[in-house]
Amino acid sequence: MKDRANRGGAVLARPRLGSVTLCLLTTLYLLVVTNRTFWVKAYGYLLFDPLALAAFVIGISALFMAVVTLFSAKYVTKPILIFFILVASSASWFNDQFGVIVDKEMIRNAAVSTGAEAGHLITFRFAMHLLLTGLLPSLLVAWVRIDHRRILPKLAHNTAVILSCFAIFAVAGLSCYKTFAGVGRAHRDIVSTLNPFMPINSAVSYAVGSEKDSNIVAAPLGTDAHRVNAGGKPRVTIIVAGETARASNFSLGGYARKTNPELEKRDVVYFPNTSSCGTATATSIPCMFSIYTRAEYSHRKALATQNLLDVLGHAKVGVSWLDNDTGSYHVTDRVPYEYLPNLNDPRFCNAGECLDAILLDKVDNWLDHVKGDSVLVLHQLGSHGPAYFERYPEEFRRFKPDCRANDFGSCTPEEITNAYDNTILYTDHVVATVIDKLKERSTTMAGAVVYVSDHGESLGENGIYLHGTPYLLAPDHQTRVPFLVWVADDLAKSAGYDMSCLSNHAGATYSHDNFFHSVLGLMDVATKVYDPSLDVFAPCRRPPDALASAR
């Protein structure tokens, strides 16, 4: 029976297509419309060999068609094709606009994002993109009628199509195998943006891994830990875990703009050549606090092993964590933890996010209640994008004009950089203020401050924005991070730290691998799991008497 159009009563027949034909049209649509980044990469990597490029296009298209046709079955075809279209539409936005690769770690990062953080990515342009490239094509798929063959003929026909496509793929691959093998080894990201299959594969891998991880219990670590020289004034270290700060925009490291005017006056030691463990918070934060180096680290290992905070606790060091970011990623499962955005303090917070001043507001109260050796972690919101302009108050809008939108498409590259640099300027103020608060209590406690960012950020270099690029492919802007320490004079003297020596060694190569052991060393905690070769302070630690005589 024919369908009637509304109002006019005119007859409007819904188009009828065979299921394989619909799969072919959907395949062409997905390849042409939602895989621009994929084809741009392939073209750039294979341009030197036109024959290989042509074989690659034919082979990938055939493989794509084979996979889509696998779902050509009654009651299955439409839901699966619509699912593919919506996933590909969403992923292509982040591929094309930000250069983001939707891998397993990106899925993990998205899964733990707050609603406020995710909301910054839902812009008008994104909604229009999803409407035009996702929803409308999905409605067309839902509208058409599918003519299905009887079961046995359909099985035979589909099998013939699928096997033919696999054969074309094999022939295309073998025809230029040497070229494909070389390009694949040199450019491992060549298929990482193939939509929708790579995002779906990443999501499935994450879901399966999360299910396996749900019952893991952390094994004890460093239960022999103890303070070597307990007594005297409490030794207090405040760790500022930075967010999305890249080393290249720190004037302490040579950046032309004065983004660190306050820290330049605080006698800090800055380590300009420091690399992160990951390119996203969900990896870097648990890796930093774990005993594992980046080469050894895995998400499962971190869950299955106690971390730095636990070892400090075994040594009877008081530990607390104040969070103004997206959480601690299980690092604080066994220590006191407070998530500050839940306070919704109107002085600092708006729409579920807070300025880092809320951390400073809490520090005084914490310091007033310190009774012994203690460590406080302040987890910043820092420079998290894309809404950089919401990370700093009006008085820190020093670099103008700054991008005042969370859609980079509405800002110039200069405006984006200006907004980002203002976030670094504000972080400079936050860390300097923490140092000042410890200085004010120098008569009652021996203080130290450690600042290190979890990962860096891309600001449009080579078409890449934000962070989360797989580490093997990530640019230096995402993996080189600022790292600095401040040690009170009395602590340096009593602990035997030669600060001039430390400054002389600051230009060496360091990484998040050093963090675990350096904090233990700074807190004078002895344990079998401590490795002095990874402690940045160890080469410059002298017996206090020897240090005094040297002066």
CA 544 to CA 71: how far, in whole Å? 73
CA 328 to CA 335: how far, in whole Å? 11
Residue 185 has a CB neighbour count (10 Å cut-off) of 8
Range from 223-232, 318-327, 432-441, 449-458 carrying the lowest mean pLDDT? 223-232
Amino acid identity, position 464: I
pLDDT band at 12 (very low <50, low <70, confident <90, very high): low
CATH of domain 234-550: 3.40.720.10
Q: What is the pTM of this model?
A: 0.88
Domain positions in the chain: 16-212, 234-550
| pLDDT per position as a tens digit, 45-96 | 999 999 999 999 999 999 999 999 999 988 899 999 999 999 999 999 999 9
Q: Give me the numbers of helices (H) and strands (E) for the chain, helices first please.
A: 21, 17
| Long-range Cβ contacts of 211-214 (<8 Å, 24+ apart) | 212/300, 213/299, 213/300, 213/303
Q: Is the dihedral of CA 288, 292, 296, 301 positive or negative?
A: negative
| CA triple 416-199-64, angle to 5 deg | 120
Q: Residue 545: what pLDDT?
A: 52
pLDDT band at 544 (very low <50, low <70, confident <90, very high): low
Q: Residue 119: what pLDDT?
A: 79
Range from 121-125, 139-143, 475-479 carrying the lowest mean pLDDT? 121-125
Beta strands 465-466 and 458-459 are antiparallel
Contact in structure between 95 and 102 (CB atoms under 8 Å): yes
Range from 127-136, 146-155, 243-252, 502-511 carrying the lowest mean pLDDT? 146-155
Q: What mean pLDDT, rounded, does the chain reach?
A: 92
pLDDT at 547 over 50: no
Contact in structure between 309 and 326 (CB atoms under 8 Å): no
SS3 203: helix
| pLDDT per position as a tens digit, 362-410 | 999 999 999 899 999 999 999 999 999 999 999 999 999 999 998 898 9
pLDDT at 11 over 60: no
Q: What DSSP string describes 280-317?
A: SHHHHHHHHHSSS-TTT--HHHHHHB--HHHHHHHTT-
Q: Residue 548: what pLDDT?
A: 41
| Distance separating the N- and C-terminal Cα atoms of the chain | 99
What phi and psi, each to the nearest 5 degrees, are found at residue 549?
-70, -30
pLDDT at 6 over 60: no
**% of the chain residues with pLDDT over 70:** 96
Nearest C-alpha neighbor of 62 from the set 159, 168, 158, 157: 168
Q: How far is CA 394 from CA 389, 399, 403, 405, 419, in A?
A: 9, 11, 13, 15, 11
CA 112 to CA 329: how far, in whole Å? 8
Can you tell me the mean pLDDT for 334-346? 95
11: which DSSP letter? B
Q: Residue 551: what pLDDT?
A: 38
How many residues are present in the chain? 551
Six token digits for residue 131? 């409407």
Nearest C-alpha neighbor of 485 from the set 304, 232, 268: 268
pLDDT band at 550 (very low <50, low <70, confident <90, very high): very low
pLDDT band at 549 (very low <50, low <70, confident <90, very high): very low
Contact in structure between 200 and 85 (CB atoms under 8 Å): no
Can you tell me the mean pLDDT for 525-529? 97
CA 39 to CA 35: how far, in whole Å? 6
Q: Which residues lie below 8 Å from residue 425, measured CB to CB, with a gap of 6+?
A: 259, 260, 261, 392, 396, 398, 399
Six token digits for residue 367? 């310091």
SS3 56: helix
CA 209 to CA 225: how far, in whole Å? 32
pLDDT at 496 over 50: yes
Q: Residue 5: what pLDDT?
A: 45
Contact in structure between 456 and 245 (CB atoms under 8 Å): yes
Q: Residue 137: what pLDDT?
A: 97
Nearest C-alpha neighbor of 336 from the set 324, 326, 344, 328: 328
